[in-house]
Amino acid sequence: MSSAGWKQDTDEPARNGKLLEAIRLALRAQQGQADVGSPELGKMLDSFSNMGFSTSQIMQLFSLQPKLAPQTWLMVVSELVLLGLDANSTLSILQKSPEVLRMTAQQLRHRAEYLRRLGLGEGSLQRVVNSYPGIFSLPWKKIDAVVQVFKKCLFTVAQVTEILRSCPSVLLEEPHDLEYKFQYAYFRMGVNHRAMVKSGLFRTPLAEIKNRHIFLERLGLYQTPDKKGQTQVVNPKLKEIIRVSQGDFLTQLAHSSLEEFTVFKKLLAREEEEVIASEETDSASNGEGERSDSK
């Protein structure tokens, strides 16, 4: 055996020994409880290594929540790895969403099964979890409420799955906000379900959609279709409106300057504020009238 190979073999136990001692001392200091036995902890560290975690990654894992029992770490990490996540993805998830560490193995399995039933199979599930790790700890009712909104809006099962794959952050939004965004695109802009999904509608803030749409409309470059779906102008596709940069939107579609668009957005915001104020005044007046009638 070469001297280089011999040195690598002898250095490995030394590194493992140092790692074991460092984590053992950290746990004892942080947990304020009985020392974790070296043999037991050593087996756990071997398990992490077998799952593909490097020495530095193992140290990072234990530094996230030092007071957490090592057995809990092993259970949570094992469940995430069984989902097909690699060491980097697992570490990233726990760093971004440490509340996952408070979940049981059964809770993690049930959540994974539920997401698969929504169509997030292998590969898709990993991508969603990587971009939004909080999906594991999000309340069941919150996920269900969002899914029900899409069903109410008559998106197909495949379309709902595609929305969740491409934009898992919709799970954080209020259901009524998602429904309003759909209604605006469907009734106000005349966009069909397929175009909404393909364009990434639900990844775009509603304010940006309205600003660009109404700007084009007032320039005579967009028109709400009539009952037969007809327009007197050729409307640009939704993805051409919302998927391009602001600069490309202004030069390629609106043929306007940034200054014009900036002024327009300020005026539109003022218009909307006036509408809201007027509605609040009308509501208050109606309330006063009802009280008077009751007297």
pLDDT digit string, tens, across residues 60-72: 887 787 677 777 8
Who contacts 154 (Cβ-Cβ below 8 Å, separation ≥6)? 193
pLDDT digit string, tens, across residues 228-262: 889 999 999 999 999 999 999 999 999 999 999 99
Quote the tokens at residue 197.
């999904």
- Residue range(s) occupied by CATH 1.25.70.10 in the chain: 142-283
Q: Are 36 and 74 in contact (CB under 8 A)?
A: no
Query: In sequence order, what DSSP letters do the residues of 136-195 get, joined into one string?
Result: GTS-HHHHHHHHHHHHHTT--HHHHHHHHHH-GGGGGS-HHHHHHHHHIIIIIS---HHH
pLDDT digit string, tens, across residues 5-18: 433 343 444 445 56
| Cα–Cα distance for residue pair 176/181, rounded to 1 Å | 9
pLDDT above 70 (res 134):
yes
Q: Are 77 and 48 in contact (CB under 8 A)?
A: yes
Q: What is the pLDDT of residue 33?
A: 46
pLDDT digit string, tens, across residues 219-229: 999 999 998 88
Average pLDDT, the chain: 83
pLDDT digit string, tens, across residues 16-55: 556 656 665 555 545 444 454 556 677 778 888 889 888 8
The more confident residue out of 151 and 8 is 151
pLDDT above 60 (res 119):
yes
- Return the CATH number of the domain spanning residue range 142-283: 1.25.70.10
Nearest Cα residue to 146 out of 128, 158, 161, 134: 161
Q: What is the pLDDT of residue 17?
A: 58
pLDDT above 70 (res 80):
yes
Nearest Cα residue to 45 out of 12, 70, 9, 14: 70
